[in-house]
């Protein structure tokens, strides 16, 4: 069993990108704009981590914070201003949003060229047709992990658990595309799937993004399986100073001994999401240079 270390992979990816940025001393750095509505402690922690990562690797990160009472029309107008500001390369809107604001409207208002979360329908469509696109950050991060560890995917049976627009659905498309990582036979399982264990026992690669703590257990998988655990959940643990510990969608203690490769929680997929977010910002910045919008 080999642990897939997302911290090492993300550090290497961003260090390489940072070196490329440093070669362009005569132009501005890539600039990521983060839009946040209201006060959410967990979101604020995540946003701060993104901005610190920006600073560490030569990016500029700016937070645009709005009150929870902001009207949807006003927020969409603010996003449009960011679209038109040439010195901003990437725009993301931190979720969740207040109930009176449509997540779909917000995502579709972001310019596809600046949609570094990879959620815009144009980017999703281009991804589905295997055309160059800004990939959703978490699925893109999983691809980077598979490449780094040279995990074979051609002809393998990949089971994706969960069909969210953020992870599961795009992941199933990416693993089935003609390329590497890809060329898998893909089964997309979800809450309506009958006999999930049947699919898991026949899986060469499992990507668990169901949002259910320790759903996948050791007796449900075969020897040598590759396991990518996207889930992250807090559970009480009095032995920890924080009073809790983090677990994934996979029961690590029972699944790891049967795995050839497995991601830990935390430290597996998590670091890759921010890394690919910045990679997408870098790619958008490169496109701005080509268009001379610097």
Kindly state the tokens that stand for 156.
């393998």
CATH code of the domain containing 154: 3.40.50.720
> What is the token pair recorded at 218?
């050791």
Given a contact cutoff of 8 angstroms between Cβ atoms, the answer to whether 191 and 171 are in contact is no
d(CA 284, CA 281): 5
Report pLDDT for 239.
87
Per-residue pLDDT of the chain (294 residues; tens, 9 = 90+): 999 999 999 999 999 999 999 998 889 999 999 999 998 887 888 899 999 999 999 999 999 999 999 999 999 999 999 999 999 999 999 999 999 999 999 999 999 999 999 999 999 999 999 999 999 999 999 999 999 999 999 999 999 999 999 999 999 999 999 999 999 999 999 999 999 999 999 999 999 999 999 999 999 999 999 999 999 998 998 888 888 899 999 999 999 999 999 999 999 999 999 999 999 999 999 998 866 655
Dist CA 224 CA 221 (whole Å): 9
117 in active site? yes
End-to-end CA distance of the chain: 47
How many CB atoms are located within 10 Å of the residue 25 CB?
A: 6
For the entire predicted model, the pTM comes to 0.95
Enumerate the H helices of 117-195 as residue ranges. Answer: 121-128, 137-148, 168-176
Selected catalytic residue, list 94, 115, 156, 279: 94
Active site residue: 89, 114, 115, 117, which one? 117
Residue ranges in 91-250 assigned as alpha helix (H) = 103-109, 121-128, 137-148, 168-176, 196-201
Residue 233 and residue 208 in contact, taking contact as beta carbons nearer than 8 Å? no
Verify that 104 and 148 share a domain, yes or no. no
Instruction: Tell me, yes or no, whether 88 and 165 share the same domain.
Output: no
Structural domain of 43: 16-113+272-290
Note whether 183 and 153 are within 8 A (CB): yes
pLDDT of residue 292: 66
Tell me, what's the pLDDT at 289? 80
- 293 belongs to the catalytic site: no
**Number of domains into which the chain is organized:** 2
Query: In this structure, is residue 152 part of a structural domain?
Result: yes
The domain that holds 88 is classified in CATH as 3.40.50.10860
**What is d(CA 246, CA 213) in angstroms, rounded to the nearest whole number?**
10
> Does 204 qualify as catalytic in the annotation?
no
Angular region, 111: left φ>0, alpha ψ -120 to 50, beta rest: beta
């Amino acid at each position: 069993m080999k642990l897939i270390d997302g911290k090492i992979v993300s550090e290497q990816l961003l260090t390489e990108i940072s070196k490329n940025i440093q070669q362009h001393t005569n132009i501005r750095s890539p600039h990521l704009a983060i839009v946040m509505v209201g006060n959410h402690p967990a979101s604020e922690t995540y946003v701060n981590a993104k901005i610190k990562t920006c600073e560490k690797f030569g990016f500029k990160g700016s937070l645009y914070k709005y009150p929870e009472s902001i009207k949807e029309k006003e927020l969409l107008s603010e996003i449009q201003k960011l679209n038109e500001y040439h010195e901003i390369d990437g725009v993301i809107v931190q979720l969740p949003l207040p109930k009176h604001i449509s997540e779909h409207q917000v995502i579709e208002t972001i310019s596809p060229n600046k949609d570094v979360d990879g959620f815009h329908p144009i980017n999703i469509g281009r991804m589905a047709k295997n055309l160059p696109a800004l990939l959703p950050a978490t699925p893109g991060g999983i691809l980077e992990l598979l490449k780094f560890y040279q995990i074979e995917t051609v002809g393998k049976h990949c089971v994706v658990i969960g069909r969210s627009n953020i992870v599961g659905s795009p992941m199933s498309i990416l693993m089935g595309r003609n390329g590497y990582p890809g060329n898998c036979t893909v089964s997309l399982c979800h809450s309506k799937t009958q006999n999930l264990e049947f699919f898991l026992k026949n899986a060469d690669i499992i990507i668990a993004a169901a949002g259910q703590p320790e759903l996948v257990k050791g007796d449900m998988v075969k020897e040598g399986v590759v396991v990518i655990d996207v889930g992250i959940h807090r559970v009480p643990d009095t032995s920890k100073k924080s009073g809790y510990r983090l677990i994934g969608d996979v029961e690590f203690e029972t699944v790891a001994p049967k795995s050839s490769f497995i991601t830990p929680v935390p430290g597996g997929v998590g670091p890759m999401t921010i890394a690919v977010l910045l990679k997408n910002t870098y790619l958008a910045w490169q496109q701005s240079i080509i268009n001379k919008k610097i």
